[in-house]
Structure 1
Amino acid sequence: MGEKSLHKKIILGLQHVLAMFGATVLVPALTGLDTSITLFCAGTGTLLFHLITKNKVPVFLGSSFAFMVGITAVIGDSRIGDPDFLPKLAAVKGGLIVAGLIYAIFSIIIKLVGYEKVNKLLPPIVTGPIIIVIGLRLSATAINSAFYLQNDAGEMVFSLKAVLITVIVLATCIGISVFAKGIYNLMPILFAIIIGYLVCIPLGLVNLDPVKNAEFFSLMDSNIKSQLFLLPKFNLDAILAIAPISLVTLIEHVGDITTNSAVCGKNFMDDPGVHRTLMGDGLATAWAGLLGGPANTTYSENTGVLAVTQNYDPAVIRIAACIAIVMGLIGKFGGFVTSIPSPVTGGISIVLYGMISSVGVRILINSRLNFGNSRNLMIAAIIFVLGIGCDSIPITDTVSVSGLALAAVAGIVLAILLPVGKDDVLQIDNN
């Protein structure tokens, strides 16, 4: 009976891996971080989260898309092998460690004063527009990957071939998301990547050199070792570009834990407590930053798997985490992900970056904010223009503040200073 039970848990764990896989590996594919390190960080970060939350919360931590805007701001177009990649990666490491520590600090504050008081600093009129800005700031990157290919001279040029692949990827992702049923409905990204990759093969866009050149075991790869053991650099520019994003994503975290509680029929906000889940998420992000992976975040895809399978055993998530760790240790697997052509990742990015902004819109709608109200209109307007129109503002010759961080600070300050009116929130007529 025990063996059958373990066999069932492994199968369920594989489903969770499939659900998180597409989004988790897409972040390193788009930012230049290493896929193997990313999967290892996702698995070990999830186990760390479960340890801190007393093994009670069935949550998987995967790569955060929200932090991509900060990571890409620091790394730019640099990739492993470029002379400036490792120094930039060291700065990213420092920024992510600070972001994780911000989570930890807020978890302590929440434990001391309660979540309700902390939540007043980040109302929906601030978090909603900021999340919209995060998605829109990344949109140009998605279009460049989706519609352009590198020519023989190394220049990015518009390509109808790339457009065709992007359309196929988008159609697959949208079709499965809207029309597929059951477990398949939770894996549109994975299926879209597979279909797009297969289409690229006869078009001659798949380069398998990364697979051939990869070591079988990741830790035997000198490039991976150079990233893993690279010491973080606490560069103020990088910290200001990356760390402030955690002020928004910690609110998303609370929403994810609330949803997870509703699906499982338990109140994880009280037991083990949102301060523990936030601490687990923060330390997992700091751990990922230390190793060279992207920030971790709670994955709603895996909450969806819980709802479909109706199996809420946290041990199943830990099995999924162990599978992710094993995948991260297999270098050939990481090489395969690296070989995914840019129109495939670009097509997926169009959906994902748009979905990030759509989440911000959903926050505004669910909060019933009245945009006929001048206070709400002004706060959102200033956040949008500062966050999208401003790349960065130099403070000194060596330090600058990103537009996203500036928009977040401006939104928080305005929300505190401007008086709240009775008509800030739309009233629902029950008649």
Structure 2
Amino acid sequence: MKSDISNTDYSFRPGQWFIGGQMMFVAFGALVLVPLLTGLDPNVALFTAGLGTLIFQICTRGQVPVFLASSFAFIAPIIYGVQTWGIPATLSGLAAAGLLYVVISFVIRIKGSEILTKYLPPVVTGPVIMVIGLILAPVGVNLALGKTGDGAAVLVAQSDALIIAGASLGTTLIAAIMGRGLIRIVPILLGVIVGYVTSILLGTFTGNPIVDFAAVGNASWFTIPDFTLPEWNWQAVLFILPVALAPAIEHFGDILAIRSVTGKDYLKKPGIQNTMLGDGLATSAASFLGGPPNTTYSEVTGAVALTRAFNPAIMTWAAVWAIALSFVGKLGAILQTIPTPVMGGILVLLFGMITVVGLNTLVKSKDDIMTPRNMIIISMILVLGIGGLEVSVGGFALGGIGLAGIVGILLNIILPAKIQIEKGEGEA
């Protein structure tokens, strides 16, 4: 069977829907991880991933072989937003983030993509990405220790939790470093599976069950996903919008990655303005239904490179698979039984990797971060974001990542391009 099809072909072919199912499998672990961590419904996330991919295909005229699903960049703001304002209010902020992508797509259409690098250079986006990873480090550690994310309650005995977290983390590390073929592309999924099996075996061995299958037995095979509508909340919107700027920049990298795999210049056709539009509409559509924001998945891009499945229609089949699985009630019930240490073990690695991505953004820019101007911008973003400073005016409050992002953008605009230090100043 030949899979390196360069032109879009939507005819029903067994090979296409099978490869589409494989792409869905590659994305599955990361796709459901975000809702499980943030309190959203994994079945809804499956549905909105499929819907978002179809919207993206429409906006790009079916020319780009990418799959859209839950964005890791929004884990921190979703968790904070759900704890502070609740899920419906947080969804309004996520929907606004999608609309921001749409606005950016039109700005690019009018002014060109250079305007983004002018107002959102690596000196701003890099530290913001780093804050996203570092601010949630305590959550990952608490979950790995068998506690709730805030550490207020113990869900699994610490000795058992460390064994489970170690199994999931170790498997993920081994698969990512030593795996070959598809194994290397799905390290998170493998980590979840091994951690889950370890939880079952450990509970059986100790006589204290860690996994409760009662909900699985009570769940029906067919169910309608638990869709949730957003409720407008200005605080949630202004808190999440700055976070959306970093993934918007990363969107360029994702499109460049798939371009390098297929050899086609998607920046020109269908154009970055159209791919960004598709990403934005997919994110807003997901948020209006109760799902996490969407983003293009690098895991699936890796699978495309491995299988040579360049036909964008295959991603349409992957979207159909995701939507179909979203109506399987027992699947959602099984996902809800995954013990927190399983996720905690993976998050210890994941949040650190997000931080490294931000650091790499600074390194690749080749800017001198030790100049006074860059030091000021970077240090303010890091300290305000990690420190959790909150500014309140009346009933409105802004803090954390949102405040750090806004301050970074403003400093980049206000501070002169070069701040000269008089010769001799500061010398002993």
Amino acid paired to 1:380: I
Matched, 1:206 2:205: no
Which of 373, 387, 390 is the equivalent residue of 2:388? 390
Distance change >3 Å, CA 141–CA 313, structure 1 → 2: same
SS at match of 1:420: coil
Could you say what secondary structure the match of 1:297 adopts? strand
Cα offset for 1:7?
Answer: 2.3
Match for residue 70 of structure 2 among 63, 73, 79:
63
Matching of residue 179 in structure 1 with residue 178 in structure 2:
yes
* Aligned-partner Cα distance in 2 for 1:388–1:178: 30
Moved segments of 4+, more than 4 Å:
1-5
Residue 89 of structure 1, CA deviation: 1.8
Question: 1:130–1:383: 8 Å Cα contact kept in structure 2?
Answer: yes
CA-CA distance at 1:243 after TM superposition: 2.3
Aligned partner of 2:289 among 275, 288, 291: 291
Partner of 2:99: 101
Partner of 2:5: none
Segment drifting more, 294-303 vs 235-244: 235-244
Distance 1:120 1:3, change over 3 A: closer
- Partner SS for 1:66: helix
Q: Which of 330, 343, 351 matches 1:353?
A: 351
Query: Per-residue deviation at 1:391?
Result: 5.1
Aligned residue number for residue 424 of structure 2: none
Give the distance between the partners of 1:333 and 1:401, measured in 2 at CA: 38
Which of 103, 107, 116 matches 1:118?
116
SS of aligned partner of 1:329: coil
Change (3 A) 1:116 1:147: same
Tell me which residue corresponds to 2:38.
31
Aligned partner of residue 369 in structure 1, secondary structure: coil
C-alpha contact 1:121 1:416 (8 A) present in aligned 2: yes
Question: SS in structure 1 opposite 2:73?
Answer: coil
How far off is 1:271 after superposition?
0.6
C-alpha deviation, 1:213, in angstroms: 2.8
C-alpha deviation, 1:137, in angstroms: 1.0
Of 29-38 and 68-77, more deviation after overlay is shown by 68-77
Task: Name the aligned partner's letter for residue 62 of structure 1.
Answer: A
Indicate the residue corresponding to 1:412 in structure 2: 409
| Aligned-partner Cα distance in 2 for 1:362–1:382 | 19
- d(CA) in 1 for partners of 2:392, 2:324: 43
For residues 270-285 of structure 1, the aligned pairs below 5 Å read: 270-285=268-283
Aligned residue identity for 2:122:
P
Shift of the 34–245 alpha-carbon distance from structure 1 to 2, 3 Å rule, reads same
Contact 2:372 2:419 in 1 (8 A): no
In the alignment, the residues of structure 1 paired with residue 75 and residue 175 of structure 2 have an alpha-carbon distance, to the nearest angstrom, of 25
Counterpart secondary structure, 2:69: strand
Among all aligned residue pairs of Structure 1 and Structure 2, give the percentage whose two residues are the same amino acid.
40
Partner of 2:159: 160
Q: Which amino acid aligns with 2:167?
A: I
The residue identity in structure 2 corresponding to 1:26 is L
Flag structure 1 segments of 5+ consecutive residues without an equivalent: 78-86, 424-431
Alignment CA distance shift 1:276-1:380 (3 Å): same
Rounded to whole Å, the distance in 1 between the matches of 2:211 and 2:56 is 37
Q: Counterpart in 2 of 1:83?
A: none
Secondary structure of residue in 2 paired with 1:67:
helix
Aligned length: 403
- Which deviates more from structure 2 when the two are superposed, residues 40-49 or residues 115-124? 115-124
- C-alpha contact (below 8 Å) 1:73/1:241 kept by paired residues: no
Matched to 2:94, the amino acid is L
What is the CA–CA distance in structure 2 between the aligned matches of 1:114 and 1:192, rounded to whole Å? 42
Q: How does 1:413-428 map to 2 (within 5 A)?
A: 413-421=410-418
Q: Which of residues 314, 331, 334 is equivalent to 1:333?
A: 331
Q: What is the CA distance between 1:5 and its match in structure 2?
A: 8.2
Deviation at 1:149, TM superposition (A): 4.3
- Distance (Å, rounded) in 1 between the aligned partners of 2:310 and 2:215: 38
1-structure distance, mates of 2:295, 2:288: 16
- Residue 217 of structure 2 aligns with an amino acid whose one-letter code is K
- 1:217 corresponds in structure 2 to 222
- 1:104–1:164 distance in 2 versus 1, CA, 3 Å: same
Please give the alpha-carbon distance, in whole angstroms, between the structure 1 residues aligned to 2:229 and 2:295.
23
Q: Deviations over 1:56-80 (max 9, x none)?
A: 0111111011111111112129xxx
Q: Is the 8 A contact 2:126 2:358 kept in 1?
A: yes
Q: TM-score, normalised by structure 1?
A: 0.89
Of 64-73 and 39-48, deviating more is 64-73
Query: What is the deviation of 1:102?
Result: 0.6
Q: Partners of 1:249 and 1:402 in 2: how far apart?
A: 19
- Name the residue aligned to 1:189: 188
CA contact (8 A) 1:36 1:218 kept: no
Alpha-carbon distance in 2 for matches of 1:357, 1:146: 19
Where does the alignment leave 5 or more consecutive residues of structure 2 unmatched? 2-8, 204-208, 421-428
SS of residue paired to 2:40:
coil
Superimposed CA distance per residue, residues 284-310 of structure 1 (whole angstroms, 9 cap, x where no aligned partner)? 110001000011111111111111112
* Deviation of the 1:195 alpha carbon: 0.5
Say whether residues 1:148 and 2:161 are aligned partners: no
SS in 1 for 2:110: helix
The structural deviation recorded for 1:255 is: 1.1
After TM superposition, the score normalised by the length of structure 2 is: 0.90
Describe the shift of the 1:422–1:368 C-alpha distance in structure 2 as closer, same or farther (beyond 3 A): farther
In the other structure, the counterpart of 2:168 is 169
Question: Match of 1:11, as an amino acid?
Answer: F
Counterparts in 2 of 1:248 and 1:149: CA distance versus 1, 3 Å: closer
Q: Which of 373-382 and 194-203 deviates more?
A: 373-382
What is the root-mean-square deviation of aligned Cα atoms in Å? 2.1
| Structure 2 CA distance for aligned equivalents of residues 316 and 28 of structure 1 | 25
1:356-375 superposed matches below 5 A: 356-375=354-373
User: 1:321-364 CA deviation, whole Å, 9 max, x = no partner?
Assistant: 11111111111111111111100011111122111111111111
In the TM superposition, residue 155 of structure 1 has moved relative to its aligned partner by: 3.1
Structure 2 CA distance for aligned equivalents of residues 16 and 351 of structure 1: 24
